[in-house]
Structure 1
Amino acid sequence: MSKTVVVSNVTKKFKMYKKPAEKLLDIILPKGYGEDFYAIQNISFEADQGDVIGIVGVNGSGKSTLSNLISGIIPPTSGTIELNGEVSLIAIASGLNNELTGRENIELKCLMLGFSKQDIKKLEPEIIEFADIGKFIDQPVKKYSSGMKSRLGFAISVTVDPDILVIDEALSVGDQTFADKCLDKMNEFKERGKTIFFISHSMGQVKKFCEKILWLEYGEVRDYGPMKEVLPKYQAFLKEYKAMTKEEKKRFKEQVQLKQSGKATPKKELQPTAEEK
């Protein structure tokens, strides 16, 4: 089975500034300026053709950063990402221009993906039918609800038929009927041997759709493997965290902040994590 995605020792560092002037200081000062923030730290994994991988982790663990790295929207600070095939990212409003209508966005996004105007004319009816947003297709996207933006973005991305599909919380908005429609389409892609990354806080959707789990914990890979093995560990981890005292949660958060600022904290000191309640 051929490798479609190979991520090797990838790190993504951002700079955090308290005010705009600090960005200029970062450019002109020899040692730079601003606080380092490591959203992703030295991660490695591989995906095969036909893999359906759920990316899980609490808020701030780097899931969306990883989706943007795989999709080529942002480059890694260090490390390499090898892709075998065309990639399409589906996220709420991803790549949509708020000033353009839905129909104009279809043309713009497809042109950016290399389709000719003749090809776009053939694809447009299928995209519009799948999005199912009625007369809003000819209204500016800034008038859309988040659910409508997600519908249009999903419709464009699946209709252009990518080899690698990255879905970042795109099914978290809108109605269940559309979510089921999207899952049906993704199952069709799965049967055709496409590689799919699925980011969702809905464990029900992850269990229903994914075969592997990539568990991120504050920028690092905590575990990666079959869904039936990794997901129960993640869910048990969340349960442990919820049982922590307020002081234990505070101490852990301080450790995480040190870790993501690039000041290494021994992994054995870390406690189970989950999003703050």
Structure 2
Amino acid sequence: MEKSIIVNNVAKRYKLYQKPSEKILDLLLPKSYGEEFFALRGVSFEAEKGDVIGFIGVNGSGKSTLSNILAGIVPPTYGDVTINGQTALIAVQSGLDNNLTGRDNIELKCLMLGFTKEQIKELEPEIIDFADLGKFIDQPVKSYSSGMKSRLGFAISVTIDPDILVIDEALSVGDKSFAEKCLDKMNEFKARGKTIFFVSHSVGQMKRFCDKALWLEFGKAKEFGPIEEVMPKYEKFLEEYKSMSKKEQKTFRQKGAELQSAYEPIT
């Protein structure tokens, strides 16, 4: 099978500052300010065309950071990402300008993706129909609910027909009927051999839609493989995690944060 994405030893470093002045000092002075924090720690995996891969893990595990790297929103600090095809990210508010109307956002995002005004004019009715926002399509996006922003973002991204789709919690907001509509569209993409990455806290959606899973824990790839092999292990972990006391959960998270701060990448 042809590879659509190859992720090789990817790490993403951020700096954590105790106060805003430290960030300015860190930029201006040779002395280092702030604490290093690795949202991703040496993640490697490959995706083939037609793969539908779910990113699983508790909050702070690195799922959204990896999604943004695959979509080209942020670069990795270390490691390499090879992408064969056009990628689109679907996340609440992703790429939307709150001060513009929904219709203006359609034009702006499509222009940024290289479509001509004539092509956008042809695509616009299909995007508006899928988003189903009614009169709100001509209202500023800042007046939209999270669900409405997700509708618009999803409608734009699927209509431009990307080769690789990255969906980050976009189906966690809004009504159930729209989520079903989105899943139908994603199944259509899946049947056409497109690669899809899916981030969701819904284990049910993951099991229903994905054929592979990447389990991230504190920025590290803990498991990667067929969904039927990885998901039972993750569900068992969730049961154990939820059965912990608040103090035990806090200790677990603190140990993870220490690992992310102490990580030394291989360069």
TM-score range, shorter chain: over 0.9
Q: Which amino acid aligns with 1:224?
A: F
Matched with 2:142 is 142
Number of equivalenced pairs:
264
Alignment CA distance shift 1:248-1:26 (3 Å): same
2:190 pairs with 1:152:
no
What is the deviation of 1:248?
3.3
Instruction: Give % identity.
Output: 67
What is the deviation of 1:30?
2.1
Name the SS of the counterpart of 1:90 in structure 2.
Answer: strand
Matched with 1:74 is 74
Matched with 2:223 is 223
Matched with 1:166 is 166
Name the SS of the counterpart of 1:9 in structure 2.
Answer: strand
Matched with 1:109 is 109
Alignment CA distance shift 1:9-1:185 (3 Å): same
How far apart are the structure 2 equivalents of 1:90 and 1:248? 34
Alignment CA distance shift 1:179-1:115 (3 Å): same
Matched with 1:198 is 198
How far apart are the structure 2 equivalents of 1:96 and 1:74? 16
Which deviates more from structure 2 when the two are superposed, residues 231-240 or residues 252-261?
Answer: 252-261
Please list the CA deviations of residues 144-194 of structure 1 after superposition, one character each: whole Å capped at 9, or x if unmatched. 111100000000000000000000000001111000000000000000000
Give me the TM-score of the superposition, normalised by structure 1: 0.93
Give me the TM-score of the superposition, normalised by structure 2: 0.96
**Structure 2: any 5+ residue segments left out of the alignment?**
none
Matched with 1:92 is 92
Please list the CA deviations of residues 205-241 of structure 1 after superposition, one character each: whole Å capped at 9, or x if unmatched. 1111000000000100000000000000000011122
How far apart are the structure 1 equivalents of 2:211 and 2:195? 11
What is the deviation of 1:260?
1.4
2:255 pairs with 1:261:
no
Q: Which amino acid aligns with 1:173?
A: V
Runs of 4+ in 1 over 6 A off after TM superposition: none
Name the SS of the counterpart of 2:238 in structure 1.
Answer: helix
Whether the aligned pair in 1 keeps the contact of 2:12 and 2:41 (CA below 8 Å) is: yes
What is the deviation of 1:58?
0.1
**Structure 1: any 5+ residue segments left out of the alignment?**
265-277
What is the aligned-residue RMSD (CA, Å)?
1.1
